[in-house]
Structure 1
Amino acid sequence: MRRVRLALILVAVGLFVGGIRSMDSMPIKASESSQVQTAGSKVAVQEPLEMEVVLQRVYIDGHVGEERKKETIWAMEDFWARYEGWELVDQQVGHITFRKEVDDLSPFVKEAGYFGLNEGNELILFDGTSDETQVIHSFFQIDVGKLESFQSQELQEGIKIKSKDQYLSLLKKYEYFSITPTP
């Protein structure tokens, strides 16, 4: 009696997993299935799918953060639901990449980002944690002759980025002083 119950449970699990697996678009590898014999019939039971998942977060400052993890997938329906709202960028056997736009500054820019000017008077976002300026992003050239002296000095020293609102406000403010190329 105990063997019959175990066999029925295995059949039910096999049908459940097999039913969900058949709904996905990923092929089943030969190593992912095994046979369970019950009362004269064979039922295929699939093993879970191992997948490397890469999550890319694209922040408003242009920085792209990447997180990698291994996942064991028992049901593709649950897997796709977990990443609802993410854009599928790449899918290969054993590997999948998702991307999401994040309406915020990257943790890196929150920690080390400064606005300033380079030698060509372009407004730049740079890493202010080292003595050597490393440009994160260049925006547009500024007519420094139009700036107030304190504004010019602030940009020469570097303006620490503290929030998304400040970042957007400074971009808008200095865009007013940008040199627009004549066609």
Structure 2
Amino acid sequence: MKRYWVHITILSILMVATLASYTFVESRSDDKSNVEVNTEENTAVVANQPVKIEVTLEKHYIDGKVEKEQKTETVLSMPDFWASYQEWNLVDQSQGHVHFRQQIDDISPYTKAHGYFGIKDGILTIFEGVPVNDAAVQSFYQIETEELETRLYNQLKEGIKINSKQDYTNVLETYRPYQDTKAVNGDGA
């Protein structure tokens, strides 16, 4: 008889445990479906709110100049935001910040306004203003000045104004044949 009561007790405990676990699983699935509904509702609300994004724009010009612009944009539609920057390359993206870069096949507005080719220590150089001011901005290559025609040498000494990409490339090509290859290759004495 004692054995009978032990079996009944164990069976009762198992039934209570099974019922409790079933009730627990049911309540969890109800909570989960509520969470999903709430999450969807919250997502819809967030998507309708404007988002402020810090945008960094970097323009890289062929003359080596880099222009950086920082601005804050209020974004109503992410697809529209991305479409407005489709000509740019994404460099970095983090929470609330996007960094774009663009290669510009032209010389920078700064070089167009202030740039002059000249010569400094025998090196073809871009100056900020005429070369006598000695404000070198970018150096290119060593020139064999003794090989230069007097006219070409004097043009460099006085400064050659850079107004366009064509001016820039023409000067580089004009003086390239006078490039000191020994200095470039490390064969110089």
Question: Is TM-score (shorter-chain normalized) higher than 0.5?
Answer: yes
Asked which structure has the greater CA Rg, the reply is 2
The alignment status of 1:126 with 2:127, answered yes or no, reads yes
From 85, 88, 91, the equivalent of 1:89 is 91
1:74 maps to 76
SS of the equivalent of 1:153 reads helix
Deviations 1:87-112 (A, max 9, x none): 11121222111010111111100000
2:36 maps to none
SS of the equivalent of 2:179 reads coil
2:106 maps to 104
Instruction: Check whether the contact 2:131–2:158 (CA below 8 A) recurs between aligned residues.
Output: no
2:41 maps to 43
SS of the equivalent of 1:50 reads strand
Deviations 1:134-159 (A, max 9, x none): 22211000000110111111111111
SS of the equivalent of 1:43 reads helix
TM-score with structure 1 length normalisation?
A: 0.72
Count of residue correspondences: 141
AA in 2 matched with 1:117: I
Query: Gaps (5+ residues) in structure 2?
Result: 1-39
Query: Gaps (5+ residues) in structure 1?
Result: 1-41
Higher strand share: 1
CA 150–130 in structure 1, closer or farther in 2 if over 3 Å, else same:
closer
AA in 2 matched with 1:163: S
From 54, 57, 66, the equivalent of 2:56 is 54
2:118 maps to 116
2:164 maps to 163
Q: CA deviation at 1:131?
A: 6.3
AA in 2 matched with 1:83: Y
Higher helix share: 2
Q: CA deviation at 1:130?
A: 9.1
CA 130–116 in structure 1, closer or farther in 2 if over 3 Å, else same:
closer
1:149 maps to 150
Point out 4+ residue stretches in structure 1 off by more than 6 angstroms. none
SS of the equivalent of 2:181 reads coil
Instruction: Check whether the contact 2:54–2:98 (CA below 8 A) recurs between aligned residues.
Output: yes
Identity %: 42
Deviations 1:14-71 (A, max 9, x none): xxxxxxxxxxxxxxxxxxxxxxxxxxxx932012221111111111111111111110
Distance 1:168 1:76 in 2: 40
Q: CA deviation at 1:116?
A: 0.5
1:12 maps to none
AA in 1 matched with 2:55: V
Calculate the aligned-residue CA RMSD, in Å: 1.8
1:32 maps to none
AA in 1 matched with 2:152: Q
